[in-house]
Amino acid sequence: MKNFLFLIVVLPLALFSQKKIDPSSSITIQGAVKQALQISIEDLKIPTQKGQGKLNIYSHDGTLRSTMKGLLGIPIKTLLKKVEFAVDSPKDLSQFYLVFEATDGYQALYSWNEIFNTRGPSVHPRRWHGARYGAADCVPE
């Protein structure tokens, strides 16, 4: 009887404890820009999407958890090329950092030089060789 009463009291709380997070309908670029830019998700549809190959997902201890295939995405560079930044010199951009925030509050931080690097065409989360803290490793197919 106690177990049944416990289930009646606790189960409804557990069922409604998750906050519903609606997907984004747009992306806003703001901060040290001359004019904030809002881009709708519809504006980001093909032809700007590019295949990202496969993405290996690792756990916190470096164990491979799963692999996602057939991913599509928009390079960050493509979005940033539409923005006019409030700087005196293009050299000042190397002091910038960019914070990407999802609707659920998750944040990712990049420096300007990580995005506009000279070693590759775009930014992908990576698992560094020998490091156990990387969450993903993007491998082109």
- Pick from 80, 77, 102, 101: which is nearest to 32 by CA? 80
Structural domains counted in the chain: 1
Does the residue 36 lie in any domain?
Answer: yes
Q: How confident is the model at residue 52 (pLDDT cuts 50, 70, 90)?
A: low
pLDDT tens digit string along 57-108?
888 888 889 888 877 777 788 788 888 889 999 889 888 888 888 888 888 8
> Residue range 38-62: average pLDDT?
76
- The answer, yes or no, to whether residue 40 has pLDDT greater than 60, is yes
Write the single-letter amino acid at 89: S
Lowest-confidence range among 39-48, 71-80, 89-98, 121-130? 121-130
Give me the residues paired with residue 138 across strands. 55
Does the residue 61 lie in any domain?
Answer: yes
Does the residue 50 lie in any domain?
Answer: yes
Q: How many CB atoms lie within 10 A of CB 125?
A: 13
State if pTM tops 0.75.
Answer: no
Does the residue 75 lie in any domain?
Answer: yes
Element (H, E) at 76: helix 76-80
Does the residue 15 lie in any domain?
Answer: no
Domain encompassing residue 72: 22-139
Does the residue 113 lie in any domain?
Answer: yes
Asked whether 53 and 141 are in contact (CB, 8 A), the reply is yes
**Mean pLDDT over all residues of the chain?**
73
Does the residue 13 lie in any domain?
Answer: no
